[in-house]
Amino acid sequence: MKNLIADINKSFENRVRLGIMSILMVHDWVDFGDLKETLNVTDGNLASHITALEKEKYVQVKKAFIGKRPNTSFQATAEGKQAFQEHLNALEALIKGM
């Protein structure tokens, strides 16, 4: 029998990481504040999950200043988009029972 969960990526098992990648898949760059507000998480929680995704090379971080205020924004990398799509495909196969 085929192992239906073998292709599910552990990096996306957490709901916050799943949310981060879902947002980054459809938007070019998203800033920290928007992600935090959309996902309704704390600064520290979001930062730790972003760090984990960055370590896997699934997200790219851009730090800049808007006027005198620091701004951090994120983008899914090509590798991250591919890994997330494979994760979604694995979930779909699991749901279909293939």
Please indicate, yes or no, if residue 49 is contained in any of the structural domains: yes
Sheet holding 59-66, edge to edge: 30-31, 69-76, 59-66
Please indicate, yes or no, if residue 4 is contained in any of the structural domains: no
Please indicate, yes or no, if residue 5 is contained in any of the structural domains: no
51 within 8 A of 10, measured Cβ to Cβ: no
Please indicate, yes or no, if residue 78 is contained in any of the structural domains: yes
Total domains in the chain come to 1
Provide the domain limits for residue 90: 10-96
* pLDDT tens by residue, 7-26: 899 999 999 999 999 999 99
* pLDDT tens by residue, 55-86: 999 999 999 998 999 999 999 999 999 999 99
Entry pTM: 0.90
Please indicate, yes or no, if residue 71 is contained in any of the structural domains: yes
Please indicate, yes or no, if residue 1 is contained in any of the structural domains: no
Decide if pLDDT at 1 tops 50: no
